[in-house]
Structure 1
Amino acid sequence: MPGLIELTARSRLKKTRQVITVACLLMLTGPTAASGATLTLDQALQTAFAGNPDLAAVQWEIGIAEGDRRQAGLIPNPEVSWEAEDTRRESRTTTVMLSQPLELGGKRGARIDVASRAQDAAGIELERKRNGLRADVIQAFSSVQTAEQRLQLSRQSLALTEHSLRVAQGRITAGKSSPVEGTRAQVQLSEVRLELSRAERDQANAYQQLAQVMGAPLAVSTVVPSATQSLPAAPSSTTLLERLNQTADLRLAALQIDQREASLGLEKAQRIPDLTVSVGSQYSELERERVNVVGLSMPIPLFNRNQGNVLAAARRSDQARDLRNATELRLRTEIQTALAQWQTANGEASAFNQTVLPAAQSAVDSATRGFEMGKFGFLDVLDAQRTLISARTQYIQAVAEATDARVRIERIFGDLGAFGVSP
């Protein structure tokens, strides 16, 4: 009956997951998508948590660990045996025995301890996978926004270059400029069109990557909202480092020490041999008499005392401690590096947005007007345009670096909402 209840619960859980996945798919690819449905970050995260196949595979580890824990608590099965002495029927003696191994030295408790540690580790590993998936979705979502910005920049550059070409052709027609300037404008236009083609390809690839991480197809008309101009401020390193022991990586590394210690205890318990108790009945055809038989048996730990496995388990325990220290050092370094990148990128993006981009746009406007009036050459216009395009590209790159740093922190800590970081 408990097995039937468990099977029914698992079936209901599986159906619930399927319903959530279908609902998310309908939300993204349903009738509203035909008119250009907007995919938010929260929707992308919900869809990924419901439909990502890698996360679904890791979730089964919980049930696997539960089965291992249940198996570890079982006692050995009894053994029944039948023996016959002498093959002649009139003088044959038959013996029926029932033997039960008795585990000594706390082997069963040690096995349960090892399996329980593995069960806890499966839960933390699932948390790590969810944190990693959340970071992957944010990264893919940000990549789509960056690709959209690059595409928009390419279109703006195309419009700017086409305008410059029209101005150059008008001056050439009026005899105020050399045809060489028209050739330069044509070359610039060809380069911008190639850049636009690459931006369109990168945009399509970014959407495909987002769909892969989410584990759900995206409608062709699906769009993501534009990135906000204000970037979230990076949390302080002191706050993050104080909560370092709460991260899934460090908790898992500490739990692995406990696992290795539990395995060492199990190997030490294996040194003690088990006792087998046997009871049975023996019947002699010759004497027509039945007697009871009782037996005890135990291996003699003369040569094999499990000393090799005990030594290996002890060294694995020492290794787990070093790995835990290495994990803490790696996390501290990665947190500080990511925070430095985050703060630097935020500063660069703010400088570009407030100073560099307005100045570059003003330079393009002035150069274009001066070229129309014959005060500047077309090379001055090209130089101003390239400066503006470069500044916009660097601004987009700074925003992408800030998001990349945030994703690295999210991969370690999970949702940074508790640290005051807006999504």
Structure 2
Amino acid sequence: MQKSLIILILFLSFFATTLAVSQEKVLTLEEGIQRVLACSPQLKMSEAEAEEKKGLHVQAGFYPNPILSYSVENVFGNRNWHGWNAAESRYEYAQLIETGGKRELRSKTTDYLFRAACLGVEVAKLQLLNRFTRAFIDLVAAQEQLRIVKEQNKIAKEVLYVVSAKVEAGKVSIIQKHKAEISVANADILLEKVRVNFETAREQVSQFWGETVPDFESVGFNFYFIQAPQSLDAYLAYLHDHPEWIQAQLEQSASLQSVYLEKSLAIPDVTLSVGYKTIRDTHNQGMILGASLPIPVFNRNQGNIEKSRANLRKLEDSFMALQVLLENKSAAIHREFMRSYHESKRLKEGILEAALQAFKLSEEGYREGKFEYLDMLDSQRTLFEIEDHYVQALKNYHSKQAELRYLSSQVD
């Protein structure tokens, strides 16, 4: 009976463990990107700004509204103007005629601004995905670090077991056991630290779609796959098609049109009017024709013209600075990308394997009494350092790759 109960308990424990593993939520980079694009508040703000510029563009194309007016004179006075008998009534229709191509220039300016705002949405999207991808890579690296530290913790405890057995057999000094216990304690502390780092990185990723509590346990990413980077010229060739580059050009074009618009505003607009007049007591009737325009004696829009010219110069300088910034940034990131690629490749193909083999040999040699404890401890420490170095190199490789992909992104 007890035997059957034990078997049942073991079966249920195994089933519960299997179910928990099968239900573990694994977040992939593609799924994370979809969440970010669907729920990011920053992206929605950029889209709202584009809608704002669209409204300005629509508004800029309208003609001025006509003015319909009515007035009456010579009423409610004294003597002959008493009452309504001597009333002179005027019915007038006036229309402002914009001169100097103001409406067309206004429409062109806002059109450039609207197109720049639409590209601003693409820029915001790419920047957001770049930040998310790098945060995701940080999480993957933290996950790998946690896995490695767990293995290191397990190795430290296995070493402690071997040393304890040797101490009990009287083959080594108890001092070695104390050293092994210190190594286990340090491994436990490191494990807790790395676990906290992993949880923090998990929370930072989930914050991109507005969640404070992550709904996933781990992430899926081909972290150990690397390939040779393209040449720098291959990345620089895409810079002129980058949304941020084209957005700056459109803003510069809008500023140039704004200069033309401010100049046109110095040209007076003409108001034409037509009307009809009646005199009640004489029964006379007639048409009213008129035209008016302001005389540009004092205000010729000089200040706004100078302001628009200064803004154009600022945007031209800003565009030149953007060119230099993107090119220099691409070159610097590409150098770091190449360095991390060669570093990762070298660690994987030579150093890591050699360190692992050295540790295995020293561990076996220590068990057999061929090596000292310090030899095994030194090879163990070297292996741990190289594994950590390898993860950091891969993390740097994928992060720089994400940044270069952002800089070489093009407009759809």
Question: Structure 1 length as normaliser, TM-score?
Answer: 0.85
| Superimposed CA distance per residue, residues 202-244 of structure 1 (whole angstroms, 9 cap, x where no aligned partner) | 2222222222224568864543225343313211111122222
Aligned partner of 1:48 in structure 2 is 36
The amino acid across from 2:400 in the alignment is A
| C-alpha distance 77-38 of structure 1, shift in aligned 2 (>3 A) | same
Shift of 1:382: 2.4
Aligned partner of 2:172 in structure 1 is 177
Query: Does residue 1:101 correspond to 2:101, yes or no?
Result: no
Shift of 1:80: 2.6
Secondary structure in 1 matching 2:278: strand
Q: Which has the larger radius of gyration?
A: 2
The amino acid across from 1:290 in the alignment is Q
Aligned partner of 2:10 in structure 1 is none
Aligned partner of 1:301 in structure 2 is 296
Question: Structure 2 length as normaliser, TM-score?
Answer: 0.87
Structure 1: which 5+ runs fail to align? 1-30, 419-423
Aligned length: 387
Shift of 1:63: 2.9
> 2:406 & 2:67 partners in 1: Cα distance?
52
Aligned partner of 1:370 in structure 2 is 365
| Superimposed CA distance per residue, residues 83-108 of structure 1 (whole angstroms, 9 cap, x where no aligned partner) | 34344224443433222111111000
Query: Does residue 1:380 correspond to 2:375, yes or no?
Result: yes
Residues 216-255 of structure 1: pairs in structure 2 closer than 5 A: 220-255=215-250
Q: Which runs of 4+ in 1 moved over 4 A?
A: 31-34, 214-222
The amino acid across from 1:40 in the alignment is T
Query: Does residue 1:127 correspond to 2:122, yes or no?
Result: yes
Aligned partner of 1:407 in structure 2 is 402
Secondary structure in 2 matching 1:271: coil
Shift of 1:408: 1.4
Residues 391-402 of structure 1: pairs in structure 2 closer than 5 A: 391-402=386-397
| C-alpha distance 106-139 of structure 1, shift in aligned 2 (>3 A) | same
| Superimposed CA distance per residue, residues 132-164 of structure 1 (whole angstroms, 9 cap, x where no aligned partner) | 233233223222211110001110110111011
> 1:366 & 1:98 partners in 2: Cα distance?
102
Aligned partner of 1:7 in structure 2 is none
The answer to whether the Cα contact below 8 Å between 2:140 and 2:223 also exists between their aligned partners in 1 is no
Structure 2: which 5+ runs fail to align? 1-18, 78-82
Secondary structure in 1 matching 2:187: helix
Residues 10-89 of structure 1: pairs in structure 2 closer than 5 A: 35-86=23-74, 87-88=76-77, 89=83
The answer to whether the Cα contact below 8 Å between 1:140 and 1:213 also exists between their aligned partners in 2 is no
Shift of 1:111: 0.5
The answer to whether the Cα contact below 8 Å between 1:98 and 1:279 also exists between their aligned partners in 2 is yes
The amino acid across from 2:382 in the alignment is T
| Superimposed CA distance per residue, residues 160-214 of structure 1 (whole angstroms, 9 cap, x where no aligned partner) | 1101111221122222222222222222211111111122222222222222224
The answer to whether the Cα contact below 8 Å between 1:99 and 1:279 also exists between their aligned partners in 2 is yes
| C-alpha distance 193-226 of structure 1, shift in aligned 2 (>3 A) | farther
Aligned partner of 1:12 in structure 2 is none
The answer to whether the Cα contact below 8 Å between 1:101 and 1:277 also exists between their aligned partners in 2 is yes
RMSD: 2.5
> 1:63 & 1:309 partners in 2: Cα distance?
26
The answer to whether the Cα contact below 8 Å between 1:72 and 1:111 also exists between their aligned partners in 2 is yes
The answer to whether the Cα contact below 8 Å between 1:136 and 1:213 also exists between their aligned partners in 2 is no
> 1:97 & 1:47 partners in 2: Cα distance?
60
Shift of 1:37: 3.9
| C-alpha distance 221-72 of structure 1, shift in aligned 2 (>3 A) | closer
Aligned partner of 1:270 in structure 2 is 265
